[in-house]
Amino acid sequence: MSARLNLVILGKQGAGKGTQCKRLSEHYAIPHVSTGDILRAAVKSGSDLGREVASIMDAGALVSDELVIRLVDERFKQPDAQRGALLDGFPRTLAQAEALEALLGDDGIKLCINLEVATSLVTERLSSRRVCQECGAIYKDTDIEAISGTCSNCGGDVIQRKDDQPEAIEKRLALYERDTAPLLDFYATRGLLVTIDGDQSPDDVTRAIELAVHERGLA
């Protein structure tokens, strides 16, 4: 690739963004960058910025757009992101998308992939999801790891997160429609939006994304 391959992956919670980002990260040799990972890494680093993030999170407050942008800026400066990155969970709002556009300039977002999945399906996926507290591995409630409560990757505790319970799911999806869905028009008007049917096998979704990237001459 002659230029950075910066891709935004959009979709409702439970649409499969994390699964696809992991696959695409390996295929294109670019990092999967999620807001949650950036925040956790900043806190763990103990840097001035990390301590600022920690104090906000410890107080139970939301990290501001301005601070998230600073963290994203730092992440893009790291060596593994020089070929590009897969952005998952960011931008979440129009303000963040506009700030990201200003930050990246000419080497900005090359494509926005929207994983389209019905609300009823993502609700079902989320309510049956179980997550390892240590490594973040994801399981279904029928998997042996979920039943036993022990991760087969690292031995960590496998739990149902509070935000994967019915009331929380409803609130999260409502926030998505209010704050993040408008990004579809934002990227569509720039000719960067490609919508993929997320109600396919993971392999078929991956192939559809790779085809979209190839058809744009990006890789």
User: CA-to-CA distance for 9 and 1, rounded, in angstroms?
Assistant: 19
Range of the domain at 211: 5-215
Q: Which structure tokens are listed for 74?
A: 């730092």
Catalytic residue, candidates 17, 23, 75, 110: 17
How many CB atoms within 10 Å of residue 213?
A: 21
DSSP string covering 60-85, please?
A: TPPPPHHHHHHHHHHHHTSGGGTTEE
Whole-model pTM: value is: 0.85
Is 130 tagged catalytic?
A: no
Q: Which structure tokens are listed for 130?
A: 């179980």
Is 51 tagged catalytic?
A: no
- The DSSP letter of residue 78 is S
CA of residue 117 relative to chain centroid, distance? 15
User: CA-to-CA distance for 167 and 160, rounded, in angstroms?
Assistant: 13
For the chain, how many structural domains are there in total? 1
The Cα angle at residue 183 between residues 218 and 78, in degrees rounded to 5: 50
For residue 1, what pLDDT is reported?
A: 42
Q: Which positions ≥6 away from 157 have C-beta within 8 Å?
A: 132, 133, 134, 149, 150, 151
CATH of the domain at 65: 3.40.50.300
User: CA-to-CA distance for 81 and 29, rounded, in angstroms?
Assistant: 9
Please report, in tens digits, the pLDDT of each residue of the chain (219 residues total): 447 999 999 999 999 998 999 999 999 999 999 888 888 888 888 888 889 988 988 887 778 888 889 899 989 999 999 999 999 989 999 999 999 999 998 779 999 999 999 999 999 999 999 999 998 889 999 999 999 999 999 999 999 988 899 888 999 899 999 999 999 999 999 999 999 999 999 999 999 999 999 999 998
Catalytic residue, candidates 140, 161, 171, 190: 161
Strand order in the sheet with 32-34: 32-34, 84-88, 5-11, 111-116, 193-197
Is 92 tagged catalytic?
A: yes
- The DSSP letter of residue 149 is T
Is 12 tagged catalytic?
A: no
H/E run at residue 36: helix 35-45
Is 129 tagged catalytic?
A: yes
